[in-house]
């Protein structure tokens, strides 16, 4: 069992994942959380002094430069360099300053573009990546390999967790850079506010995607910190997918937009299906607790309180 007074450093505590982890840890009674704003600690630069001073027992690496297809495509240099710097600094400093465990958060985009569905952990490095987010994926794969190298060479208990598509409070709702669920939520909200009769959605609506509320990811991470000590990567998802058309209909229902959906077939669909094989995590006794509809409702409440003009 984890000691509730152990010092836990959550890197990236302001992001969607990091903030959910902080919420979860606090609600479970962990009292010694260590967080630093970017103005006080830039993870892209030296972090040795911070680690030497604070000596966290547990490190959760949820800090990353992230973005949608457009940002990934336009700025491959920044995605590769910034993510590599952050993870190299934190992973090395965690080991050198005696952290007893580190949890590295990867992403399902590390898997090959044409991986088998649902995607097992063994699919890693078995084929070419999706070109549009290759730089980000390569950085994350390097982070996984660094954690595994520390485990093999020095016996470090560094684990790597691969979440599926995430959404929830603190998501990015900027239409230029957001992911599909957040973008649809905002579009439906604005269409309702303007009293539009129809909402235009990219693509055919046929692709299938898996979505996990970030609070469910946080509960899985807590379980993995307690029970999982293998350097082999582990997927976190809900094990079910939904078509983009069904997702759009569900979002319109939650938001209360009663116009029609119009599909813009000139826009790309992306990969036809992306679902993670979560049998490894299921075997540890974890499954998500928040259904998609409830999760979207929670996210919309947060959006109304924080983003809606």
How far apart CA 41 and CA 63 sit, in angstroms, is: 12
136 is catalytic: yes
How many residues does this entry show for the chain?
309
How far apart CA 97 and CA 34 sit, in angstroms, is: 15
Task: Pick the catalytic residue from 95, 136, 150, 300.
Answer: 136
* CA 109 to chain CA mean position, Å: 10
Instruction: Return the ∠ at Cα 212 (arms to 211 and 215), rounded to 5°.
Output: 155
Contacts of residue 228, defined as CB under 8 A and 6 or more positions apart, other chains included, come to: 159, 234, 284
Please report, in angstroms and rounded to a whole number, the separation of the first and last CA atoms in the chain. 45
DSSP string, 38-50: TTT--TTS--HHH
Tokens of 85: 């710097």
Q: What is the DSSP letter of 100?
A: S
Instruction: Return the ∠ at Cα 198 (arms to 197 and 201), rounded to 5°.
Output: 165
Tokens of 186: 């905002």
Contacts of residue 59, defined as CB under 8 A and 6 or more positions apart, other chains included, come to: 8, 9, 11, 90, 94, 99, 101, 102, 103
Catalytic machinery residues: 136
């Amino acid at each position: 069992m984890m000691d509730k007074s152990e010092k836990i450093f959550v890197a990236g505590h302001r992001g969607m994942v990091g903030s959910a982890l902080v919420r979860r840890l606090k609600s479970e009674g962990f009292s010694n959380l260590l967080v630093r704003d970017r103005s006080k600690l830039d993870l892209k630069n030296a972090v040795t002094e911070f680690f030497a001073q604070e000596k966290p027992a547990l490190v959760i690496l949820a800090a990353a430069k992230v973005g949608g297809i457009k940002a990934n495509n336009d700025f491959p240099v920044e995605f590769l360099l910034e993510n590599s710097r952050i993870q190299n600094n934190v992973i090395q400093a965690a080991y050198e300053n005696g952290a007893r465990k580190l949890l590295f958060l990867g992403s399902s985009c590390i898997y090959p573009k044409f991986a088998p569905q649902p995607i097992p952990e063994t699919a890693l490095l078995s084929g070419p990546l999706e070109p549009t987010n290759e730089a980000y994926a390569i950085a994350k794969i390097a982070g996984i390999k660094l954690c595994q190298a520390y485990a093999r060479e020095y016996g470090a208990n560094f684990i790597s967790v691969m979440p599926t598509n995430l959404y929830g409070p603190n998501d990015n709702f900027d239409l230029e850079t957001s992911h599909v669920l957040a973008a649809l939520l905002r579009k439906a909200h604005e269409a309702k506010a303007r009293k539009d009769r129809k909402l235009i959605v990219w693509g055919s609506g046929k692709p299938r995607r898996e979505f996990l509320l970030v609070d469910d990811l946080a509960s899985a991470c807590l379980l993995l910190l307690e029970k999982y000590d293998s350097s082999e990567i582990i997927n976190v998802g809900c094990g079910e997918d939904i078509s983009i058309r069904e997702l759009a209909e569900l979002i319109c229902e939650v938001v209360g937009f009663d116009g029609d959906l119009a599909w813009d077939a000139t826009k790309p669909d992306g990969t036809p299906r992306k679902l993670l094989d979560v049998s490894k995590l299921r075997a540890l006794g974890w499954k998500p607790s928040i259904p998609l509809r409830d999760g979207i409702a929670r996210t919309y409440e947060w959006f109304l309180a924080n983003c809606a003009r």
